């Protein structure tokens, strides 16, 4: 089997999450992704357990890529990046709007050397926004998009950020979609173009509660209900009214009340019935939920997720070279094709590990140019000393 994006060249000028996750997925789909990393390194190198000096966070987002370390502020650096872009299909970046322009690496510069280039820029609030210069990590977008406020309204207590970079992953996946769409248009003769992805837009478009705000109506909480059972915490989908209706259809619950019972009496009686329903052994509860077609899920400890049967059956994780003589597990891409492959295709790279290799492959260099650029301070490479 082949990879759907085999032969595609992607120049990756991204860091942390939104951009690197986008380019990780492009790599898993077969693209040759070259990560351009600055000398001070991607911030994500600091987070998570380290093996051979490579952190878990950095490894998860950058496995399978090649790495060239360029000091973008050095004389001749912009020219080198443009040389690489001249033979690339895609450039992805997630600096604040205007940063790359000031370095001579804006879209106009890329298009001047490659009319068919597809460039995707990911930022918090988008180019041209009055907020475009603001720092915009995921929690800021969770706050500005109303996610934290809504959760706080319904859960009470302190307003806290969810332990998941939703704004980053939303932006990454929408950027991937937009890139593939732009490539299709290019291949149909439309030429290259610039894609402007704002994390704020990707939060609002993926918010299934947004219609309440747009229609000016009160928010009705959907989602699920948790139940403390003898076999642990279980979550069922929907609200109490929907759950009661589903369970009552096959006669699995009955409040024993007549048609004249008050709402308060019904609520109290049904709560007692449901408490008894879930206070049974696991097999009985799950059998009845399945009979009533109620969706349910175990509220798992996050450390157990990759030890379930689903990991083996659906390839939630895979093993890669840990660069220290062993292997380490990373999340696997979710694409299961009938006649193609998608998987992480290599380990996470060291900073500047592929300087010479990329220049040879992408620029037809004879293998001598990297040394000169290292001497000039345009390229850098980290020393690899094993575990740290």
Tokens 């059998």 sit at which residue? 287
Which ranges constitute the DSSP H helices of the chain?
A: 18-28, 56-62, 77-86, 99-102, 107-113, 138-144, 147-155, 166-185, 199-205, 210-215, 240-248, 263-278, 282-291, 309-314, 355-363, 369-376
Helix or strand (DSSP H, E) at 349: none
- CA-to-CA dists, residue 234 to 212, 243, 253, 291, angstroms: 28, 14, 18, 17
Question: In this structure, are strands 54-55 and 50-51 parallel, antiparallel, or unpaired?
Answer: antiparallel
**Roughly how many angstroms between the first and final C-alpha of the chain, as a whole number?**
38
Q: Does the annotation count 168 as an active-site position? A: yes
Active-site entry in 12, 32, 89, 168? 168
Q: Any residues with CB less than 8 A from the CB of 87 and at least 6 apart, and which? A: 9, 114, 362, 363
Residue pair 22/49 in contact by the 8 Å Cβ criterion: no
Residue pair 345/27 in contact by the 8 Å Cβ criterion: yes
Q: Any residues with CB less than 8 A from the CB of 327 and at least 6 apart, and which? A: 319, 320, 321
Q: How crowded is residue 295: how many other Cβ atoms within 10 Å of its Cβ? A: 12
Instruction: Report the catalytic residues.
Output: 168
């Amino acid at each position: 089997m082949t990879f759907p994006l085999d032969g595609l060249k992607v120049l990756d000028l991204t860091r942390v999450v939104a951009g690197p996750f986008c380019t990780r997925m492009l790599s898993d789909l077969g693209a040759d992704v070259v990560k351009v990393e600055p000398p001070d390194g991607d911030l994500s190198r600091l987070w998570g357990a380290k093996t051979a000096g490579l952190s878990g966070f950095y490894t998860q987002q950058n496995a399978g890529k090649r790495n060239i370390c360029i000091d973008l502020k050095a004389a001749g650096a912009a020219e080198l990046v443009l040389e690489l872009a001249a033979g690339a299909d895609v450039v992805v970046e997630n600096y604040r709007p205007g940063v790359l322009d000031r370095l001579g690496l804006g879209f106009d510069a890329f298009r001047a050397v490659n009319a068919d280039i597809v460039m995707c820029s990911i930022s918090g609030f988008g180019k041209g926004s009055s907020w475009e210069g603001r720092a915009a990590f995921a929690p800021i977008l969770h706050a500005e998009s109303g996610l934290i406020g809504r959760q706080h309204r319904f859960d009470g207590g302190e307003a806290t950020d969810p332990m998941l970079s939703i704004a980053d992953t939303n932006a990454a996946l929408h950027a991937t979609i937009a890139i593939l769409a732009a490539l299709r248009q290019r291949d149909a003769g439309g030429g290259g173009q610039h894609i402007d992805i704002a994390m704020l837009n990707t939060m609002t478009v993926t918010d299934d509660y947004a219609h309440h705000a747009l229609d000016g109506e009160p928010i009705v909480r959907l989602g699920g209900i948790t139940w403390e059972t003898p076999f642990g915490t279980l979550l069922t989908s929907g609200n109490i009214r929907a759950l009661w209706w589903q369970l009552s259809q096959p006669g699995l619950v009955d409040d024993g009340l007549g048609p004249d019972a008050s709402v308060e009496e019904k609520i109290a009686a049904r709560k007692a019935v449901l408490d008894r329903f879930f206070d049974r052994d696991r097999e009985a509860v799950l059998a009845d939920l399945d009979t009533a077609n109620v969706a349910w899920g175990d509220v798992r400890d996050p450390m157990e997720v990759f030890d379930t049967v689903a990991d083996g059956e659906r390839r939630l994780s895979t093993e890669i070279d840990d660069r220290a003589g062993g292997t380490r597990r990373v999340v696997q891409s979710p694409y299961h094709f009938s006649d193609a492959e998608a998987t992480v295709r290599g380990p996470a790279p060291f900073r500047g590990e592929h300087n010479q290799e990329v220049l040879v492959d992408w620029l037809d260099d004879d293998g001598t140019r990297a040394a000169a650029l290292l001497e000039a301070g345009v390229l850098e490479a980290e020393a690899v000393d094993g575990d740290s």
